[in-house]
Amino acid sequence: MRQTLLLLVAFTASHFVSAQNLPVAKPADAKMKTFIDALMKKMTMEEKIGQLNLPGSGDIVTGQASNSDIGKKIKEGKVGGLFNIKTVAKIKAVQKVAVEESRLKIPMIFGMDVIHGYETVFPIPLGLSCTWDMKAIERTAQIAAQEASADGINWTFSPMVDIARDPRWGRIAEGNGEDPYLGGEIARAMVKGYQGTTGSYKNNNIMACVKHYAMYGAAEAGRDYNTTDMSRVGMFNNYMLPYKAAVEAGVGSVMASFNEVDGIPATGSKFLMTDVLRKQWGFKGFVVTDYTGINEMEAHGMGDLQQVSGLAMRAGIDMDMVGEGFLTTLQKSLKEGKVTVAQIDAACRRILEAKYTLGLFDDPYKYCSEERAAKEVFTDANRAEARQIAAQSFVLLKNQGGILPLQKKGTIALVGPLADAKENMPGTWAVAARFDKAISLFEGLRTVVGDKATIVYTKGSNLDADAKFEERAGMFGKDFKRDMRPAQEIIDEAVNAVKNADVIVAALGESAEMSGESSSRSNIEIPQVQKDLLAALLKTGKPVVLVLFTGRPLAIKSESENVPAILNVWFGGSEAGYAIADVLFGDVNPSGKLTTTFPQNIGQVPIYYNHKNTGRPLGEGKWFEKFRSNYLDVSNDPVYPFGFGLSYSDFYYGSVKLSSNTLKAGGTITASVVVTNNSRVSGKEVVQLYLRDMVGSITRPVKELKGFQKIELKAGESKTVEFKISVNDLKFYNSDLKFVAEPGDFKLFIGGNSRDVKEATFKLL
Ligand code: BGC
Q: What is the CATH number of the domain that holds 301?
A: 3.20.20.300
Q: What is the pLDDT of residue 328?
A: 98
Q: Which atom of ligand 1 is nearest to the CA of 157?
A: 10
Measuring CA to CA, which residue among 142, 85, 174, 89 is closest to residue 596? 174
pLDDT confidence of 15, banded at 50, 70, 90? very low
Residue 615 three-state SS: coil
Tell me if 420 CB under 6 Å of ligand 1. no
Q: What is the pLDDT of residue 590?
A: 98
Tell me if 133 CB under 6 Å of ligand 1. no
Tell me if 157 CB under 6 Å of ligand 1. yes
Model pLDDT for residues 483-537, shown as the tens digit of each residue:
999 999 999 999 999 999 999 999 999 999 999 999 999 999 999 999 999 999 9
* Position 384 pLDDT exceeds 90: yes
Tell me if 290 CB under 6 Å of ligand 1. yes
Closest residue to atom 6 of ligand 1, CA basis: 291
Per-residue pLDDT, averaged over 335-362, amounts to 98
Per-residue pLDDT, averaged over 748-758, amounts to 98
Tell me if 318 CB under 6 Å of ligand 1. no
Indicate if 8 and 152 belong to the same structural domain: yes
* Position 647 pLDDT exceeds 70: yes
Tell me if 693 CB under 6 Å of ligand 1. no
Tell me if 216 CB under 6 Å of ligand 1. no
Relative orientation angle of helices 2-12 and 180-195, to the nearest 10 degrees: 140
- Distances, alpha carbon 583 to alpha carbons 158, 272, 534, 551, 652, in Å: 29, 44, 21, 19, 22
List the single range of 26-40, 276-290, 679-693, 728-742 with lowest mean pLDDT. 26-40
429 CA to centre of ligand 1 in angstroms = 9
Model pLDDT for residues 135-154, shown as the tens digit of each residue:
999 999 999 999 999 999 99
| Residue to mutate, 216, 291, 321, ligand 1, most ligand atoms under 8 Å from C-beta | 291
Measuring CA to CA, which residue among 720, 594, 599 is closest to residue 646? 594
Measuring CA to CA, which residue among 339, 281, 276 is closest to residue 308? 339
pTM above 0.85, yes or no: yes
Asked if residues 28 and 4 have their Cβ atoms less than 8 Å apart, the reply is yes
Closest residue to atom 2 of ligand 1, CA basis: 290
186 CA to centre of ligand 1 in angstroms = 20
Indicate if 488 and 524 belong to the same structural domain: yes
Measuring CA to CA, which residue among 656, 686, 689, 688 is closest to residue 673? 656
Q: Which atom of ligand 1 is nearest to the CA of 212?
A: 9
SS3 percent helix, strand, coil of the chain, rounded to 5, is 35, 20, 45
Q: What is the pLDDT of residue 476?
A: 82
Per-residue pLDDT, averaged over 691-702, amounts to 98
Q: What is the pLDDT of residue 186?
A: 98
Asked if residues 667 and 641 have their Cβ atoms less than 8 Å apart, the reply is no
Model pLDDT for residues 167-191, shown as the tens digit of each residue:
999 999 999 999 999 999 999 999 9
Task: State how far the Cα of 217 lies from the Cα of 163, in Å rounded to an integer.
Answer: 5
Model pLDDT for residues 426-447, shown as the tens digit of each residue:
999 999 999 999 999 999 999 9
Q: What is the pLDDT of residue 21?
A: 37
Residue 709 covered by a domain: yes
Asked if residues 654 and 689 have their Cβ atoms less than 8 Å apart, the reply is no
Residue 43 covered by a domain: no
Closest residue to atom 5 of ligand 1, CA basis: 291
* Position 13 pLDDT exceeds 60: no
Residue 560 covered by a domain: yes
Q: What is the pLDDT of residue 57?
A: 80
547 CA to centre of ligand 1 in angstroms = 30
Model pLDDT for residues 224-265, shown as the tens digit of each residue:
999 999 999 999 999 999 999 999 999 999 999 999 999 999
Task: State how far the Cα of 441 lies from the Cα of 127, in Å rounded to an integer.
Answer: 17
pLDDT confidence of 68, banded at 50, 70, 90? confident
Indicate if 330 and 451 belong to the same structural domain: no
Tell me if 224 CB under 6 Å of ligand 1. no
Q: Looking at the 3D structure of the chain, how many domains does it have?
A: 3
211 CA to centre of ligand 1 in angstroms = 9
Indicate if 419 and 526 belong to the same structural domain: yes
Q: What is the pLDDT of residue 25?
A: 47
What residues pair up with 652 in beta bridges, in sequence order? 676
Closest residue to atom 8 of ligand 1, CA basis: 290
254 CA to centre of ligand 1 in angstroms = 12
290 CA to centre of ligand 1 in angstroms = 6
Q: What is the pLDDT of residue 2?
A: 35
158 CA to centre of ligand 1 in angstroms = 10
Residue 41 covered by a domain: no
What's the domain range around 418? 386-599
* Position 81 pLDDT exceeds 70: yes
Residue 297 three-state SS: helix
Closest residue to atom 10 of ligand 1, CA basis: 157
Q: What's the distance, CA 203 to chain centroid?
A: 24
Residue 616 covered by a domain: no
Indicate if 368 and 391 belong to the same structural domain: no
- Distances, alpha carbon 320 to alpha carbons 92, 431, 432, 665, 712, in Å: 23, 21, 23, 46, 47
Indicate if 368 and 464 belong to the same structural domain: no
Tell me if 431 CB under 6 Å of ligand 1. no
Indicate if 421 and 299 belong to the same structural domain: no
Q: What is the pLDDT of residue 26?
A: 53
Indicate if 396 and 356 belong to the same structural domain: no
Looking at residue 23, the DSSP 8-state letter turns out to be P
Residue 31 covered by a domain: no
102 CA to centre of ligand 1 in angstroms = 28
**The domain boundary residue, chosen from 339, 373, 407:** 373
Task: State how far the Cα of 495 lies from the Cα of 492, in Å rounded to an integer.
Answer: 5
Taken in order 296, 301, 303, 308, the sign of the CA dihedral is negative
**The domain boundary residue, chosen from 373, 400, 415:** 373
Task: State how far the Cα of 325 lies from the Cα of 303, in Å rounded to an integer.
Answer: 12
**The domain boundary residue, chosen from 373, 406, 424:** 373
Per-residue pLDDT, averaged over 728-739, amounts to 98
Per-residue pLDDT, averaged over 66-86, amounts to 92
Tell me if 119 CB under 6 Å of ligand 1. no
Tell me if 429 CB under 6 Å of ligand 1. no
Task: State how far the Cα of 221 lies from the Cα of 168, in Å rounded to an integer.
Answer: 7
Indicate if 595 and 508 belong to the same structural domain: yes
Kindly name the residue from 290, 318, 420, 464 that is annotated as catalytic. Answer: 290
Residue 626: is it exposed, middle or buried by C-beta count within 10 angstroms (0-12/13-18/19+)?
exposed
Task: State how far the Cα of 427 lies from the Cα of 21, in Å rounded to an integer.
Answer: 41
| Contacting residues for 293 by C-beta, under 8 A, at least 6 apart | 256, 257, 258, 265, 266, 267, 312, 321, 323
Q: What is the pLDDT of residue 554?
A: 98
Q: What is the pLDDT of residue 263?
A: 97
HEC readout, 520-542: CCCCCCCCHHHHHHHHHHHHCCC
Per-residue pLDDT, averaged over 450-473, amounts to 96
Tell me if 291 CB under 6 Å of ligand 1. yes
* C-beta atoms surrounding 456 within 10 Å: 16
pLDDT confidence of 27, banded at 50, 70, 90? low
Per-residue pLDDT, averaged over 569-590, amounts to 98
225 CA to centre of ligand 1 in angstroms = 12
* Position 19 pLDDT exceeds 70: no
Is the omega angle on the peptide bond into residue 173 within 30 degrees of 0, that is, cis? no
Q: Which atom of ligand 1 is nearest to the CA of 174?
A: 9
Q: Any idea what the CATH number is for the domain that residue 724 is in? A: 2.60.40.10
List the single range of 12-21, 280-289, 461-470, 753-762 with lowest mean pLDDT. 12-21
Pairing of strands 286-288, 109-112: unpaired
Residue 35 covered by a domain: no
Task: State how far the Cα of 385 lies from the Cα of 136, in Å rounded to an integer.
Answer: 9
Q: What is the pLDDT of residue 688?
A: 99
| Residue to mutate, 210, 431, 517, 519, ligand 1, most ligand atoms under 8 Å from C-beta | 517
Tell me if 162 CB under 6 Å of ligand 1. no
Q: Which atom of ligand 1 is nearest to the CA of 431?
A: 12
* C-beta atoms surrounding 473 within 10 Å: 22
Q: Any idea what the CATH number is for the domain that residue 525 is in? A: 3.40.50.1700
- Distances, alpha carbon 459 to alpha carbons 188, 508, 524, 556, in Å: 41, 10, 22, 21
Tell me if 582 CB under 6 Å of ligand 1. no
Taken in order 243, 247, 253, 256, the sign of the CA dihedral is positive
Q: What's the distance, CA 435 to chain centroid?
A: 21
| Contacting residues for 29 by C-beta, under 8 A, at least 6 apart | 1, 2, 5
Closest residue to atom 11 of ligand 1, CA basis: 291
Model pLDDT for residues 385-426, shown as the tens digit of each residue:
999 999 999 999 999 999 999 999 999 999 999 999 999 999
Indicate if 403 and 357 belong to the same structural domain: no
Per-residue pLDDT, averaged over 615-641, amounts to 95
Indicate if 468 and 350 belong to the same structural domain: no
Q: What is the pLDDT of residue 60?
A: 74
Q: What is the pLDDT of residue 66?
A: 81
Asked if residues 293 and 323 have their Cβ atoms less than 8 Å apart, the reply is yes
Q: What is the pLDDT of residue 65?
A: 80
* Position 4 pLDDT exceeds 50: no
Across the chain, what does the average pLDDT equal? 95
* Position 323 pLDDT exceeds 90: yes
Residue 671 covered by a domain: yes
| Residue to mutate, 84, 153, 157, ligand 1, most ligand atoms under 8 Å from C-beta | 157
Tell me if 442 CB under 6 Å of ligand 1. no
What residues pair up with 695 in beta bridges, in sequence order? none
Q: Where in 24-107 does DSSP place strands (E)?
A: 53-54, 81-83
Asked if residues 660 and 716 have their Cβ atoms less than 8 Å apart, the reply is no
- Known catalytic residue: 290? yes
* Position 24 pLDDT exceeds 60: no
Indicate if 590 and 694 belong to the same structural domain: no
- Distances, alpha carbon 170 to alpha carbons 14, 184, 214, 522, 554, in Å: 34, 21, 17, 10, 12
